[in-house]
């Protein structure tokens, strides 16, 4: 009746993009965040953020850790690496201290980016992040 045949992982990107998890200004989270839906960060995250949808980091938002997502718009601050499958937009006044691996990249004139950038076809960006994680865990040689 309500599409009960779908398992948890059977949602399309468009369906996931219709819902947003928000971390409000003044909120500090220590630990990793994993989400199936959009994530908007206006507070501070000390840990990694991973979503199958879009990450938006507002002007007051800050992440100390890696970000893995389908798309991302950043106005705030990230100290860590970015693994974005499709479009990464670095907006004016954002500050990125870390490396970027993205399918597409748009940088506005007043954005600050300190690190290396690798442009890859969209299917490879997330798989490279997974391989790096496995290597650091000693799974791959």
Residue 63's DSSP bridge partners are: 45, 78
| Model confidence band, residue 5 (pLDDT cutoffs 50, 70, 90) | very low
Residue 1 has pLDDT above 60, yes or no: no
Residue 38: its pLDDT value, please? 96
Over 30-83, what HEC string results?
ECCEEECCEEEECCEEECCEEECCEEEECCCCEEECCEEECEEEECCEEECCEE
CA separation for the pair 37, 69 (Å, rounded): 10
Per-residue confidence at 53, pLDDT binned at 50, 70, 90? very high
Please state, for a pLDDT cut of 90, what percent of the chain lies above it: 71
For a pLDDT cut of 70, what percent of the chain falls above it? 73
Question: Mind listing the pLDDT tens digit for each residue in 79-129?
Answer: 999 999 999 999 999 999 999 999 999 999 999 999 999 998 655 555 666
- Strand-pair category, 62-64 with 44-46: parallel
Classify 14 as helix, strand or coil.
helix
Average per-residue pLDDT in the chain?
86
Query: Averaged over 27-55, what is the pLDDT?
Result: 97
Rounded to whole angstroms, the Cα distance separating 60 from 86 reads: 24
The two tokens of residue 16 are 């996931």
Q: Give 133's DSSP letter.
A: H
For residue 111, count CB atoms less than 10 angstroms from its CB and return exposed for 0-12, middle for 13-18, buried for 19 or more.
middle
The DSSP element (H or E) to which 17 belongs, if any, is none
């Amino acid at each position: 009746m309500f599409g009960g045949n779908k398992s948890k992982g059977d949602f399309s990107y468009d369906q996931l993009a219709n819902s947003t998890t928000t971390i409000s200004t003044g909120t500090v989270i220590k630990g990793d965040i994993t989400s199936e839906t959009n994530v908007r960060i206006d507070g501070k995250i000390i840990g990694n953020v991973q979503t199958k949808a879009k990450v938006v980091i507002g002007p007051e938002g800050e992440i100390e850790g890696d970000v893995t997502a389908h798309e991302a718009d950043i106005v705030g601050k990230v100290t860590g690496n970015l693994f974005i499958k499709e479009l990464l937009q670095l907006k004016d006044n954002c500050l990125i201290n870390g490396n970027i691996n993205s399918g597409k990249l748009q940088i506005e004139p007043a954005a600050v980016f300190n690190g290396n950038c690798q442009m890859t076809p969209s299917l490879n960006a997330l798989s490279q992040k997974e391989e790096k994680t496995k290597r650091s865990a000693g799974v791959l040689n």
